């Protein structure tokens, strides 16, 4: 559950390349420009409840002058082969795990993942949504507004995108840890890699505790 976003002013384009790519997909999915204008206004209004993100799906409550609606949608998840290929791509270069945990999505990581057959960023036709409102367009303005807010979440933390694609933070770190594998003999390079993954796991847990306002001194 990602908390309700406060009302925003302005119409500035996203600052990161991956958020702009997400926004392009939202614009491709819209029926017309009028829907996009209304959706951007609604997204900035502060009248969208907390967004629940799960593997391949999202849901949120949206309020407007016509009432309170429930909007849900889907994004295709990565299959097992794509998940494995992505984990190998992340593990192929040092610093990629730290970048993801720091809220960055390296462009070369996405390019190398695409070379391995893994498409992370969706296109418009992959953003399916339904709503309890009576609009005949799909996605409706409410769904487009939620998709805009998802773009904000993805910009702040690209792991939200991975979660939508079926790979949560915990699963990613666990798979990376498993990918490192046990070493039967002392190996300085392997030890460094093991230490890096352990640090990544501790960092992820610390972020969760910090978000909950709980102490995490025991992780240090």
- For 72-111, write each residue's pLDDT tens digit: 999 999 999 999 999 999 999 989 999 999 999 999 999 9
Transcribe 37-80 into DSSP letters: HHHHHHHTTT-B-PBEEETTEEEEEEEETTEEEEEEEE-PPP-H
In this structure, are residues 64 and 41 in contact, taking their beta carbons and an 8 Å threshold? no
- For 159-206, write each residue's pLDDT tens digit: 999 999 999 999 999 999 888 766 434 444 444 444 555 555 555 555
pTM for this prediction: 0.81
HSE value, Cβ hemisphere, 13 Å, CA-based, for 146: 31
In this structure, are residues 4 and 50 in contact, taking their beta carbons and an 8 Å threshold? yes
């Amino acid at each position: 559950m990602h908390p309700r976003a406060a009302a925003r002013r302005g119409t500035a384009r996203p600052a990161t390349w991956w958020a702009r790519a997400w926004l392009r997909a939202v614009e491709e999915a819209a029926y017309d420009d009028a829907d996009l204008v209304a959706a951007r206004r609604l997204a900035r209004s502060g009248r969208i409840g907390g967004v629940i993100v799960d593997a391949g799906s999202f849901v949120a409550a949206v309020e407007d002058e016509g009432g309170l609606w429930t909007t849900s949608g889907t994004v295709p998840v990565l299959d097992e082969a794509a998940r494995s290929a992505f984990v190998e791509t992340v593990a192929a270069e040092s610093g990629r795990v730290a970048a993801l945990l720091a809220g960055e999505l390296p462009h070369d990581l996405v390019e190398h993942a695409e070379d391995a057959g893994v498409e992370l960023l969706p296109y418009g036709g992959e953003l399916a949504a339904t709503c309890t409102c009576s609009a005949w367009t799909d996605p409706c303005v409410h769904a487009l507004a939620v998709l805009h807010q998802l773009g904000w979440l993805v910009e702040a933390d690209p792991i939200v995108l991975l979660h939508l694609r079926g790979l949560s933070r915990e699963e990613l770190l666990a798979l990376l840890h498993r990918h490192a594998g046990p070493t039967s003999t002392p190996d300085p390079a392997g030890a460094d890699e093991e230490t890096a993954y352990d640090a990544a796991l501790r960092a992820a847990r610390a972020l969760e505790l910090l978000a909950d306002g709980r102490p995490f001194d025991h992780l240090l």
